[in-house]
Amino acid sequence: MSKKVVTDLDVKGKKVLMRVDFNVPMKNGVITDDNRIREALPTIKYVIDNGGKAIVFSHLGRIKTAEDKLTNTLAPVAKRFEELVGKTVKFIPETRGKALEDAINQMQNGDILMFENTRFEDLEGKKESGNDPELGKYWASLGDVFVNDAFGTAHRAHASNVGIASNIAETAAGFLLEKEIKFIGGAVDNPVRPFVAILGGSKVSDKIGVIESLIEKADKILVGGGMMFTFLAALGKNVGASKCEADKLDLAKDLLTKASGKIVLPVDTVVTTEFSNDTPFQTVSVNDIKEGQMGLDIGPETLKEFTNIISTAKTVVWNGPMGVFEMSNYAKGTVGICEALANLNNATTIIGGGDSAAAAIQFGYASKVSHISTGGGASLEYLEGKTLPGVACVDDK
């Protein structure tokens, strides 16, 4: 997929509308992880260093009530953004109107302006998330060119991506979106083989489309996390009190049949009797799970088998942790997968957002993989081979 990138634009003297993903986790008004802001900086710096006027905007959380506006203002995000970019960021606490328009018209080349949470427009009807035509047209009128660098929302057609792109002369991808297209798009469309996919997380139902797509494309699919128990139950094994989608057993059977041996399931698991890090735990074969026991991680024999398969790979995509990694007793499987990816040479290793990305960052492996996606839902849909509206709306080269 050959899309225009920000370097293909002449930004000098232009008002550059920049959709970023600053939907950062916050607690009591304090940002707990600023990784998404940092990831957007190269594109923003390119625009201002080349004489563009950067008009930056993002969503934050969901806005359903007036109270949500108080807890989801981008004001503290703008402050952190200013610290990280090392340049004044003029924050306008509006999503439209004269104050915003005047501030944009007063910008000088190299200036940065940021306006308020795009989803404030959802309070009276879903204008942003429903891609209201009038809103997309209005936001497009504020700039000369549009750069989409928000992969986290690329699987949604919103006024702040598709709406603007439909009403502006020129649209390009930022460096972050370009990277997502290159790595995830490349893995889906043209992987160097062997291609190994690793899937975890709690539910098979969340990843049906991805599994079906990967059965066609991957050489092996390693399954861990809570979803493994639905597959094991489908094979007639007792999974005790483990997470299991009883209504998805037939689906799991069908997927195993379609996969013709490509799906590799765990042979052992770490079990306990309570969802707690303080309860005694043990490793058992998947054939020996007793009533009342719940599996919260893959076991060491499974990790050994998974690591052997990964060691042969040239392309690896990983989405979903192997266990409840937030508890130290059940983090070994997830840490082991991080390690296996870090030890690969001459291979492309991609972590597809969400909890597996959080785990890799938490355990210090972020710099040891080729790419960590910034989009959970978007990376899953991209892995399915779906067309993402936020990518499709970017001009082709």
Of the candidates 130, 185, 377, 385, the residue annotated as catalytic is 377
Contact 207, 380 (CB under 8 A): yes
352 is catalytic: no
Half-sphere exposure for 57 (CA within 13 Å, toward CB) = 29
Cα(183)–Cα(181) distance, integer angstroms: 6
Rounded to the nearest 5°, which phi and psi values hold at 160? -85, 0
Cα(318)–Cα(352) distance, integer angstroms: 6
CA angle centred on 81, ends 94 and 148, rounded to 5°: 70
Quick one: how far is CA 286 from the chain centroid? 31
Cα(286)–Cα(269) distance, integer angstroms: 6
14 is catalytic: no
Of the candidates 3, 36, 119, 243, the residue annotated as catalytic is 36
Half-sphere exposure for 253 (CA within 13 Å, toward CB) = 10
Of the candidates 203, 253, 314, 368, the residue annotated as catalytic is 203
203 is catalytic: yes
Contact 306, 298 (CB under 8 A): yes
Rounded to the nearest 5°, which phi and psi values hold at 110? 90, -5
Query: Partners of 19 in the beta sheet?
Result: 57, 148
Q: In what order do the strands lie in the sheet with 294-298?
A: 281-285, 268-272, 294-298
Query: Partners of 194 in the beta sheet?
Result: none
53 is catalytic: no
Distances from the Cα of 291 to the Cα of 29, 230, 238, 241, 287, angstroms: 44, 16, 8, 6, 12
113 contact partners, CB below 8 Å, separation of at least 6:
53, 54, 55, 56, 89, 90, 91, 92, 103, 104, 107
Of the candidates 52, 200, 225, 354, the residue annotated as catalytic is 354
Please name the amino acid found at residue 360: A
Coil, strand or helix: which one is 274? Answer: coil
Distances from the Cα of 396 to the Cα of 5, 20, 169, 171, 223, angstroms: 9, 20, 13, 9, 36
Catalytic residue numbers, as ranges: 36, 203, 354, 377
